[in-house]
Amino acid sequence: MLITVSGPPGTGKSTTAAALADALDYEHVSGGDIFRQLADERGYTPLEFNRLAEDDPQIDRDLDRRLREIAVERDGVVLESRLAGWLAGDHADFRFWLDAPLGVRAERIAAREDKSVDEARTETAAREDSEATRYEEYYGIDIGDRSIYDLTMNTARWSEAAMIDIFVDAIERFDADGDEGKEPIVGVNYDF
């Protein structure tokens, strides 16, 4: 199967996706890891490359093209990125969305990036607005549309272990005979 884990910054996407892949004995593919690979291939640090990406849309497109290729070509993968569910499209067997209140996410980001919570909150809100505009402009994706996701979780409400149990249980209890159909992905421009 191909499983996607998506959500905004600070929701625990990478941690959750890695733990889910481990529980299922799947490969974990991280959009962040691919971004770092792209930076290395072009001779930049991730921070330098991130700054370049703000002005060069091709950087986002290259990352998203690689994620899309993985989704189309491979199984036995937990694919994780903000757009993984959209980029995988109908190739995904399950699409999970993680979320948490902005204040919680800002605290998590502040702790991992050694900055103030206020600074993290301001930067995160600005980043999300910028990304939402780019996703709509580049691909016709409304990142606020959660209708494509099979399960959405507030990561501030459950422990990591409990969330993995819930995800694994949902996957294991899935009955293809009773499936009335996952939400199809329509209107997305996959021309990278």
CB 139 within 8 A of CB 145: no
Q: How confident is the model at residue 166 (pLDDT cuts 50, 70, 90)?
A: very high
Class of domain 2-100+149-166: alpha beta
pLDDT above 90: residue 169: yes
- What pLDDT is attached to residue 23? 98
Token pair belonging to 11:
């929701």
In degrees and rounded to multiples of 5, residue 104 shows phi and psi of: -65, -45
Using one digit for the tens of pLDDT, what is the confidence trace for 6-57?
999 999 999 999 999 999 999 999 998 998 899 999 999 877 887 888 789 8
Instruction: Write down the pLDDT at residue 21.
Output: 98
pLDDT in the model for residue 53: 83
- Each as own residue / partner, the long-range contacts of residues 101-104 (CB below 8 Å, 24 or more positions apart, any chain) are 101/154, 101/156, 104/10, 104/156
Cα distance between residue 44 and residue 82, in whole Å: 22
Q: Are 120 and 9 in contact (CB under 8 A)?
A: no
Q: What is the pTM of this model?
A: 0.92
Asked if residues 84 and 17 have their Cβ atoms less than 8 Å apart, the reply is: no
Please report the pLDDT score of residue 120 as a whole number. Answer: 94
Give 49-56 contacts, CB < 8 A, sequence gap 24+.
Answer: 54/130
Annotated domain spans of the chain: 2-100+149-166
According to the model, what pLDDT value does residue 55 have? Answer: 87
Give the span between the Cα atoms of 122 and 29, in whole angstroms. Answer: 29
The model's pLDDT over 84-143, given as tens digits with 9 standing for 90+, comes to 999 999 999 999 999 999 999 999 999 999 999 999 999 999 889 888 988 998 999 999
- Beta strand 151-154 with 27-30: parallel, antiparallel or unpaired? unpaired
Given a cut of 90, whether residue 176 has pLDDT beyond it is no
pLDDT at position 29: 97
